[in-house]
Amino acid sequence: MLPGIENTYRNIRYSLEENKDFGLANDFFVGEMEAKRRQLKWWRRWLLSVPAAYKIFSNYGTSPLRVFLWLSLLTFLNAYHLWDYSIYANESLIEINISEVNISSFDSFETLMNSIKINVEGIRGVLTYSIQTLTLQKDKLEIFDNLPKNSPVYLINTLYAVIGPIIIALFAVSIRTRIKRN
Can you tell me the mean pLDDT for 59-78?
89
Residue 71: per-residue pLDDT: 93
Q: Which residues pair with 116 in a beta bridge?
A: 96
Of 20-34, 52-66, 68-82, the range with the lowest mean pLDDT is 20-34
Identify each DSSP E strand in 20-172 by its residue range: 94-96, 116-118
What one-letter code names the amino acid at 6?
A: E
Q: What CA–CA distance (Å, rounded) separates 18 from 141?
A: 49
Q: Angle, nearest 10°, between helix axes 152-181 and 22-38?
A: 130
Residue 153: per-residue pLDDT: 76
- Region of 12 please: left (phi>0), alpha (psi -120 to 50) or beta: alpha
Q: Answer positive or negative: Cα dihedral of 160, 162, 168, 173.
A: negative
Taking 90 as the threshold, does the pLDDT of residue 69 lie above it?
A: yes
pTM recorded for the entire structure: 0.69
Residue 70: per-residue pLDDT: 92
Q: Where are the domains of the chain?
A: 64-181
DSSP 56-67: HHHTTTT-HHHH
The pLDDT mean for the chain works out to 76
Residue 39: per-residue pLDDT: 78
